[in-house]
Amino acid sequence: MKGSMSTDLGIISVNPEVIAKYAGTVAVECFGIVGMAAVNMKDGLVRLLKKDSLTHGIQVSISDDNRITIDFHVIVSYGVSISAVTDNLISNVKYRVEEFSGMPVDKINIYIEGVRVID
Res 58 pLDDT > 80 = yes
Res 39 pLDDT > 70 = no
Q: What tens digit of pLDDT does each residue of 17-38 get?
A: 999 999 998 998 899 988 888 7
Provide the pLDDT for residue 43. Answer: 46
User: 67 or 8: which carries more pLDDT confidence?
Assistant: 67
Euclidean distance between CA atoms 92 and 76, whole angstroms: 16
Mean pLDDT of the chain: 84
Q: What is the 3-state secondary structure (H, E, C) of 44-108?
A: CEEEECCHHHHHHHEEEEECCCCCEEEEEEEEEECCCCHHHHHHHHHHHHHHHHHHHHCCCEEEE
Provide the pLDDT for residue 107. Answer: 96
